[in-house]
């Protein structure tokens, strides 16, 4: 056992990459199953088998992704993840039960995606729902959507979208689209299309107009997720720029892909005074 004190975290190995791919495959397969078996007749009551398939499939994917990604994360990222989880929960409650159909419960996840990359973002999304389910277990089935949000946030940072901040809202809209597409079947199958707050009101509105359940829930998901992710991505980008460079440049992902604008040029006055409120 001759470890050096500064040994690197075990990075990617073929086995871990395989596990990660398997996890993504499990998400895709479960999702495909849910779409194909989407209940046409809601009158016969909630179908238990589809809900079980959803929970088992996404649960399996969660385990695989954890096993594949967690050991490869550098310690700086690992230390940031709990903070992001708490931010998700606290900022989500901050907005709380307003009648605007947004929840803002993924700002921390998106921030980690920006600072530490897609796989860290996906892990944060999964962990966030896992930890949140200690207080509110009804968020657990939506973990796959949270993982997709984190991964897409990391991907957009890597493509330089956060650097060109006028593109951030567009990335948010795209993510909102994906998140809604993932969340809607889960909301129908596991919770019978019941949602609380403004999303629930939208669903009730469409149901009152005589729409089908799947239709109404999908509409509700899109009307709440698109603006929500737009705001989330913008707020997270604003936070990333408000952080002192000492904090952001600690992340290898930020340095390597030059995620934030103005990172190369030194002596930019706006950067060193970016946090007047602190």
Partner 1 sequence: MWLAVLAASLGAAAAGRVLGKAVTAALVVVVPFALWALAIHGLFFPEGRTVLAAFGPARVTAEGLAYAGGIVLRTAALVVVMLAFSTWVEVPVLRAALVRRGVPAQLGYVLSTALGLASTVAERLERIREAQEARGLVVRQSLPGRIVAARLQVVPLVLQLVDEAGERAPALEARGQALPGRRTSYVDEPDSRAQRALRWVLAVASLAVVVSVMVPAVAGVLGGGR
Using rule CB under 8 A, residue 70 touches partner 1: yes
Q: Choose one: 42-50, 156-164, 252-260, 264-272; the region binding partner 1 (CB under 8 A).
A: 42-50
For partner 1, the closer CB: 116 or 152: 116
Using rule CB under 8 A, residue 272 touches partner 1: no
Q: Are 216 and 193 spatial neighbours (Cβ–Cβ below 8 Å)?
A: yes
For partner 1, the closer CB: 73 or 161: 73
Q: Angle between the 14-36 and 48-69 helix axes, to the nearest 10 degrees?
A: 160
Pick from 140, 167, 178, 261: which binds partner 1 (CB under 8 A)? 140
Pick from 26, 73, 147, 168: which binds partner 1 (CB under 8 A)? 73
Nearest to 125 by CA among 175, 76, 168, 166: 175
Alpha helices in the chain (DSSP H): 14-36, 48-69, 75-95, 107-116, 118-132, 143-158, 168-191, 197-208, 213-242, 245-248, 252-257, 269-272
Q: Angle between the 118-132 and 107-116 helix axes, to the nearest 10 degrees?
A: 150
Pick from 22, 177, 207, 257: which binds partner 1 (CB under 8 A)? 207
For partner 1, the closer CB: 155 or 203: 203
SS3 for 148? helix
Pick from 24, 61, 64, 81: which binds partner 1 (CB under 8 A)? 81
CA 155 to chain centroid, in Å, comes to: 12
Q: Choose one: 124-132, 143-151, 175-183, 258-266; the region binding partner 1 (CB under 8 A).
A: 124-132
Site residues (CB under 8 A) for partner 1, limited to 174-193? 191-193
Q: What are phi and psi of 246, to 5 degrees?
A: -55, -35
For partner 1, the closer CB: 174 or 237: 237
Altogether, the residues listed in the chain come to a count of 278
Using rule CB under 8 A, residue 234 touches partner 1: no
For partner 1, the closer CB: 139 or 261: 139
- Determine if residue 98 is left, alpha or beta; phi over 0 gives left, psi from -120 to 50 gives alpha, anything else beta: beta
Using rule CB under 8 A, residue 2 touches partner 1: no
For partner 1, the closer CB: 178 or 215: 215
For partner 1, the closer CB: 26 or 174: 26
Site residues (CB under 8 A) for partner 1, limited to 251-270? none
Using rule CB under 8 A, residue 53 touches partner 1: yes
**Smallest distance from the beta carbon of 146 to partner 1, in angstroms?**
14
What are 12's two structure tokens?
Answer: 């990617």
Q: Are 237 and 168 spatial neighbours (Cβ–Cβ below 8 Å)?
A: yes
Taking the chain, what is the end-to-end CA distance rounded to the nearest angstrom? 45
Pick from 208, 264, 270, 273: which binds partner 1 (CB under 8 A)? 208
For partner 1, the closer CB: 45 or 267: 45
- Count of residues near partner 1 by CB under 8 A: 79
Return the CA Rg of the chain.
20
């Amino acid at each position: 056992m001759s470890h050096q004190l500064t040994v690197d975290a075990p990075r990617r190995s073929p086995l871990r990459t395989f596990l990660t791919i398997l996890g993504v495959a499990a998400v895709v397969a479960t999702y495909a199953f849910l779409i194909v078996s989407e209940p046409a007749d809601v009158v016969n009551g909630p179908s238990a088998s589809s809900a079980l398939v959803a929970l088992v499939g996404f649960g399996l994917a969660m385990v695989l992704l954890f096993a594949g990604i967690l050991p490869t994360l550098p310690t700086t990222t690992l230390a940031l993840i709990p903070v992001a989880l708490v931010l998700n929960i606290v900022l989500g409650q901050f907005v709380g039960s307003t009648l605007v159909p947004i929840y803002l419960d993924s700002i921390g996840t998106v921030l980690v995606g920006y600072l530490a990359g897609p796989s860290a973002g996906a892990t944060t999304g999964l962990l966030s729902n896992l930890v949140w389910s200690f207080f509110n277990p009804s968020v657990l089935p939506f973990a796959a959507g949270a993982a997709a949000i984190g991964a897409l946030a990391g991907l957009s940072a890597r493509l330089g979208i956060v650097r060109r901040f006028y593109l951030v809202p567009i990335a948010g809209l795209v993510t909102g689209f994906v998140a809604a597409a993932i969340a809607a079947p889960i909301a129908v199958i596991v919770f019978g299309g019941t949602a609380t707050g403004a999303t629930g009101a939208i669903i009730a509105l469409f149901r009152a107009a005589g729409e089908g359940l799947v239709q109404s829930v999908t509409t509700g998901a899109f009307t709440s997720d698109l603006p929500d992710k737009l705001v989330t991505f913008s707020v997270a980008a604003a936070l990333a720029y408000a952080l002192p460079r000492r904090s952001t440049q600690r992340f290898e992902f930020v340095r390597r892909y030059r995620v934030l604008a103005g990172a190369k040029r030194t002596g930019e006055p706006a950067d060193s005074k970016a946090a007047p409120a602190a």
